[in-house]
Amino acid sequence: MTDETLYSIRMRASTGKHHVSGAERISRAESIDNIVLSLIARAKSKGGIPHNITIHIESLHSLPVKCLTALDILTVTVPDMHAGRVAAARTLTHLGVSQRAVTRAIELLNRGASPTGTTMRGSLIMDSRSGERLEPDQERGVRTSRFDYAEKASSMVDEVLTALGLTHFRTREAIALATKVVHAPGVIAELCWSDDPDYTAGYVASLRLGYIRYPYLKMKGDQKGGRVIFVDASNMISEALIRYLQDEPVLINNMGKFHAEITLDQYLMSLAQRS
C-alpha cells in the first residue's frame, strides 16, 4: 500500500539576526530526502554557509489540499523602474484599487514598510479603498506558506518559463505564491518586488488579469522590497484569510496561459480597451 500522506518541508537560513533565504515544498514521504538535500543546497547557494539552517518537516495528514491552476503569465517590457511603477499602478487601479491605496503601497515598499523603515518579514495587507493597513503586526506582516507545484505541473512550469526566458527560481516561486494569494476570498490583487538587490523585477497578480510581470519595479542595488495584498474593504481582514495564507495547503496542478512579452504602450492600450 502506498502512503498518500503529504508533507510540508520548509527551509529557512539565517546568519545572526539576518534572514538569508527560505523555500518550501510539499511532497510525499518518498521524496523528502531529496528535497531536504536540495533545500540545503539552496540555503548554501547565497554567499556561503549561513550560521543556521532550519528544516521543518510536517505531516499535512488531516488537512484538505486545495488544487489550483497557476495564474496566466504576461511580461510587460518596461524600460526602467519609473515606467514599471506606472504600469503596476495602472494595473492596480484598473482592478479597482484606489489611487490613494496604490500610492501609499508603492511609497511603503519603497521606504521599507515596517514602522522602523526596514523591509517586513511578510506581506502587508491593505484596504483597497482607504489604503489603511490591516495586518496585525506591521514588523512581521503575514507570510504565505504551504504551497507548491504538483509533480506534473512542476515540469510544465519549468518548460513554460524556460520558453519565456524566465529561468530565475524567484519567478517560479513567486507565481506559485501569488496563485495561492489571489485565490483567497476578498483578495483583489497582490503587488510585489523582491528585497534581493540584484533582482529588479516585480509583479501585480490578480484573478482577473493573472500574473503581470514588470522587469523593473526598483533600481538595481536597492535592498528594499515587500509585498502588499489588497483586500476588498467590505471583506475586512479576518482570521480565516490569515489562516488560509499561512496554513492551508495549496498544490498547483495545472498551468495557466502564457503570453509573449508586450510593450508598455501595447499593455496600456489593452487595459484601456478592457475598461
Q: Binding of ligand AMP at residue 183 (CB under 6 A)?
A: no
Partner touching 129 among ligand COA, ligand AMP, none, CB below 5 to 8 Å by kind: none
Secondary structure letter of residue 142 according to DSSP: B
12 binds ligand COA, rule: CB under 6 A:
yes
202 forms part of the interface with ligand AMP (CB under 6 A): no
- Between the two ends of the chain, the Cα-to-Cα distance in Å is 54
Q: Which is nearer to ligand AMP, 14 or 268 (CB)?
A: 14
CB of 103 to ligand COA, least distance (A): 24
The reply to whether 226 sits near ligand AMP by the rule CB under 6 A is: yes
Q: How many CA atoms lie within 13 A of 264 on its CB side?
A: 17
**Of 8-16, 40-48, 117-125, 251-259, which segment contacts ligand AMP by CB under 6 A?**
117-125
Which option in ligand COA, ligand AMP, none does residue 123 bind, with CB closer than 5 to 8 A by kind? ligand AMP
Tell me which amino acid residue 216 is: Y
Q: Which of 240, 162, 175, 239 is closest to 203 using CA atoms?
A: 175
63 binds ligand COA (CB under 6 A): no
Residue from the set 75, 91, 119, 200 that interacts with ligand AMP by CB under 6 A = 119
* Helix, strand or coil, per DSSP, at residue 44: helix
Q: Closer to ligand COA by CB, 91 or 145: give it.
A: 145
Shortest distance (Å) from residue 275 CB to ligand AMP: 30
Place of cell 506534473: 152
DSSP state of 65: P
Counting Cβ atoms within 10 Å, is residue 117 exposed (0-12), middle (13-18) or buried (19+)?
exposed
**In terms of DSSP H, where are the helices of the chain?**
32-44, 81-94, 99-111, 151-163, 169-182, 239-247, 264-274
φ, ψ at 267 (rounded to 5°): -65, -45
Part of the chain binding ligand AMP (CB under 6 A), chosen from 84-92, 152-160, 219-227, 261-269: 219-227
Per CB under 6 A, does 204 bind ligand COA?
Answer: no
Nearer to ligand AMP among residue 122 and residue 186 (C-beta):
122
Binding site for ligand AMP (CB under 6 A): 119-120, 122-123, 143-145, 170, 194-196, 225-227
